[in-house]
């Protein structure tokens, strides 16, 4: 008895077609699906423009906030740990007035170096990091913000 072998070219073409379909299915499953593509994009609300009077109010508020911040900074510099009396000593009689510091004490603190091309920014003399000193007058004693207050790292603004 003779058995008939299946037609090999037809079987190979069916098998290759299945592999091709399987390959396309695998590639399609790997491609990320964009869920936002079907959603309608919302329109941006129109930007609100300020009138001249509102702009003036905003400008005045900013200037007032700058003045308050400057006054607070000056007050903080005046009340830094250097000027406070130590424990065991008598406090000054007039707490509102401060005793003038000797000129030699002013030289004890190092001066920061200016950052070239950036007004109001200096390099800290202790770690060479950039510190923002805008709106602080020259010669003012400033605490280095990169160190905790306990370390007492102070420098003068150039």
* Average pLDDT score over residue span 18-41: 74
How many domains does the chain divide into? 1
123 forms beta bridges with 113, 130
pLDDT at 42: 60
- 114 closest CA partner among 130, 97, 98, 136: 130
Assigned token pair, 76 = 């903080």
CA distance 114 to 3: 97
Domain hosting 157: range is 110-158
Position 114 in a domain: yes
Percent with pLDDT over 90 in the chain: 21
> Is the pLDDT higher at 34 or at 99?
34
pLDDT digits (tens, 9 = 90+) for 120-152: 999 999 899 999 999 999 989 999 988 888 888
Residue 148 inside a domain? The answer is: yes
Note the pLDDT of residue 146.
Answer: 86
97 pLDDT above the threshold of 80:
no
Closest CA to 113 of 100, 126, 125: 125
- Is 152 within a domain? yes
Is residue 154 within a helix (H) or strand (E), and if so which, with residue range? Answer: strand 154-156
Q: Is 91 helix (H, G, I), strand (E, B) or coil?
A: coil
| Structural domain includes residue 136 | yes
What average pLDDT does the chain have? 76
In a domain, 129, yes or no: yes
């Amino acid at each position: 008895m003779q058995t008939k072998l299946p037609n090999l070219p037809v079987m190979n073409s069916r098998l290759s077609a299945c592999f091709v379909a399987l390959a396309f299915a695998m590639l399609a499953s790997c491609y990320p699906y964009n869920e936002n593509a079907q959603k309608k994009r919302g329109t941006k609300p129109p930007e609100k423009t300020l009138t001249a009077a509102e702009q003036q109010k905003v400008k005045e508020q900013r200037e007032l906030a700058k003045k308050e911040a400057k006054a607070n900074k000056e007050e903080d510099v005046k009340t830094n740990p250097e000027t406070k009396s130590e424990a065991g000593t008598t406090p000054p009689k007039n707490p509102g007035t401060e005793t003038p510091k000797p000129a030699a004490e002013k030289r004890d603190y190092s001066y920061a170096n200016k950052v070239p091309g950036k007004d109001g920014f200096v390099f800290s003399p202790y770690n060479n990091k950039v510190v923002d000193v805008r709106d602080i007058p020259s010669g003012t004693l400033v605490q280095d913000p990169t160190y905790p207050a306990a370390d007492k790292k102070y420098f003068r603004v150039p």
